[in-house]
DNA sequence: GCCGGGGTGGCAGCTTGTTGCCATCGCATC
DNA sequence: GATGCGATGGCAACAAGCTGCCACCCCGGC
């Protein structure tokens, strides 16, 4: 089934949004669709109605979804309501929505004129795409982690320390290389570890590696 | 269009395989379908016919596809012929094939009886799934990197040690938790570090993080 | 000049990690 | 049963890392 334009999507498929029972997943480049108040209402209503019990909302987006303030606010609302948001560095389809693993809604590739949406219920299609979604989801980073905190802004000093640690130098060698006393170098390391919330140097390395802080 | 069983798939959709011109991508848990000689022939024939020019083969698989020797051999053949193979740690659909971004073939979820395949040509569906595939692809690791060297095969022991280190325990605590003596635990850590070619625990953590060895 | 705060570095004492050495144990082989 | 091999664990000595304490220096404000 194919519908043209947002209005028709709401008219013809709005009940699908409202009828979501267990799961609502969405992969998209940004939040365009969600500017449509009707769809948003339907889902957020459902989220609030069921509380957290058994209803899962997952949104997988690209960093461009964080471009404007309104989108960030909306995403924060979602997470506040128990939804989960992740950011993928890979390009994503313009819009893919899967409801309860039964219905799938795909937006057409970018084209002039009103957007087209395809609504599918074929179990093979839906479950196949759902699995692919999970694969993409698994490797994306949590919004909270992506935004603030976890990828802390490291100044040049910290970066230098990180590089020294990553090079495998002893504190002695590293401190000499950086023109610091061992005491200060260790202070820096301790600060870095605090920033990364690591209890051990190993853990700090792990976090640094996970966050791709090597460069 | 839905077909039942491998034989019918070949009969009804074999020409699609043979007609692939630009791209052949495939996401699957393992290589079951490829036990079908006809489909394999069609694609490998195409691959050899065109050489590397303009024809791309991509296979995204789970580690379980590497379980038996025959599969590994086949994957090596693919890469030797210019195809690209990656391994994803996330679960994947039972089988998803996209040809030239125009045709998509999905296997039904596991069920008794012959497998069902759904063949779709809807541009919206195909391009949407293709984008999801790319997102999953982007975050998977190359077969070569996965197999040899880069991602060393860690046995359960090593994994346990890795987890303990990642948890930030002291050696004392970790050893007790694993039911080992501190001496042996440290031996394990030393082995792990040797495997990761790390000079310090920090470096080991860094490597582990980079290689996604956390899970 | 005087003061106070922040970053630095030396020192000391402690914890943690690293490694070699050797005794022991289980196990398979001879 | 004897032998050898690999894995283990205790011990010890050393290296490395961690941190509190204090002295120092630089700088900006009083």
Judge if the beta carbon of B172 is closer than 7 A to nucleic acid strand C: yes
- pLDDT for residue B46: 54
Distance, CA of B153 to CA of B158 (rounded, Å): 9
Do A210 and B209 lie within an 8 Å CB cutoff? yes
pLDDT number for residue A110: 63
Nearest C-alpha neighbor of A166 from the set B202, B168, B197, B192? B202
Angle CA B45–B49–B53, to nearest 5 = 125
Residue of chain A whose Cα is closest to the Cα of B26 = A132
Q: What is the mean pLDDT of residues B73-77?
A: 79
pLDDT at A149 over 60: no
pLDDT, tens only, B123-164: 777 887 888 888 888 777 777 766 654 555 666 677 788 888
pLDDT at position A35 over 80: no
User: Which member of A109, A123, A133 has the closest CB to residue B123?
Assistant: A109
* Half-sphere exposure of residue B111: CA atoms within 13 angstroms, side-chain side: 13
State the fold for domain A2-147. Endonuclease; Chain A (3.30.870)
The set of strand C positions with any atom below 7 Å of a protein CB reads 8-12, 15-21
B127–A199 CB contact, under 8 Å: no
Torsion of CA A150, A88, A210, B90, to 10 degrees: 130
Token pair 């019918």 is found at: B8
Q: 3-state DSSP call for residue B96?
A: strand
pLDDT value at A135 more than 60? yes
List strand C contacts in A 89-118 (CB < 7 A).
none
Task: Name the nucleotide nearest B157; use CA and C1'.
Answer: D7
Q: Which protein residue lies nearest to nucleotide C7, measured between its Cα and the C1' atom?
A: A184
Mean per-residue pLDDT, A110-138 = 78
Tell me what percent of chain B is helix, strand and coil, each rounded to the nearest 5: 55, 15, 30
Contact list in A for residue B106 (CB cut-off 8 A) is 124-125, 128
Is residue B90 within 8 A of residue A135, CB to CB? The reply is yes
The highest-level CATH class for domain A156-210 is mainly alpha
Q: Is strand C within 7 Å of residue B189 (CB)?
A: yes
Asked, colleague to colleague, whether B2-147 and B156-210 share their fold, the answer is no
Pairing of strands B116-120, B103-107: antiparallel
Based on DSSP, count helices (H) and strands (E) in chain A, helices before strands.
Answer: 9, 8
pLDDT at B63 > cutoff 70: yes
For tokens 């002893």, name the residue.
A170
Residue A154 has pLDDT above 70, yes or no: no
Residue of A nearest to B166 (CA): A203
Give the SS3 label for residue B87.
strand
Q: Torsions phi, psi of A128, nearest 5?
A: -60, -50
Q: Which residue of B has its CA nearest to A128?
A: B93
Domain ranges within chain B, ordered by starting residue: 2-147, 156-210
Q: Tokens representing B40?
A: 């394999």
CA distance linking residue A178 with residue A1, whole number of Å: 64
- A52's tokens: 């957290």
CB contact under 8 A, B202 and A198: no
Encode pLDDT of A60-84 as tens digits: 888 777 766 777 777 787 777 777 8
Q: What is the mean pLDDT of chain A?
A: 75
Q: Nearest 10 degrees: CA dihedral of A42, A45, A46, A52?
A: 150
């Amino acid at each position: 089934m194919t519908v043209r334009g947002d209005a028709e999507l709401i008219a013809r498929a709005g009940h699908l949004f409202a009828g979501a029972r267990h799961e609502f997943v969405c992969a998209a480049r940004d939040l365009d669709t969600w500017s449509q108040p009707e769809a948003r209402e339907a889902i957020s209503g459902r989220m609030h109605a069921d509380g957290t019990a058994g209803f899962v909302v997952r949104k997988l987006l690209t960093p461009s979804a964080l471009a404007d303030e309104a989108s960030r606010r909306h995403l924060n609302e979602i997470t506040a309501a128990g939804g989960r948001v992740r950011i993928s560095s890979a390009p994503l389809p313009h819009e893919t929505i899967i409801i309860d693993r039964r219905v799938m809604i795909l937006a057409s590739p970018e084209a002039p004129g009103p957007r087209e949406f395809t609504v599918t219920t074929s179990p093979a299609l839906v479950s196949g795409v759902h699995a692919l979604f999970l694969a993409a989801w698994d490797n994306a980073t949590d919004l909270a982690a992506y935004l603030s905190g976890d990828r802390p802004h490291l100044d040049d000093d910290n970066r230098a320390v990180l590089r020294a640690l990553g090079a495998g130098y002893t504190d002695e060698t590293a401190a000499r290389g950086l023109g610091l006393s061992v005491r200060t170098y260790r202070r820096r390391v301790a600060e870095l570890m605090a920033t990364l919330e690591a209890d051990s140097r190993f853990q700090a390395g792990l976090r640094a590696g996970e966050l791709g802080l090597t460069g």
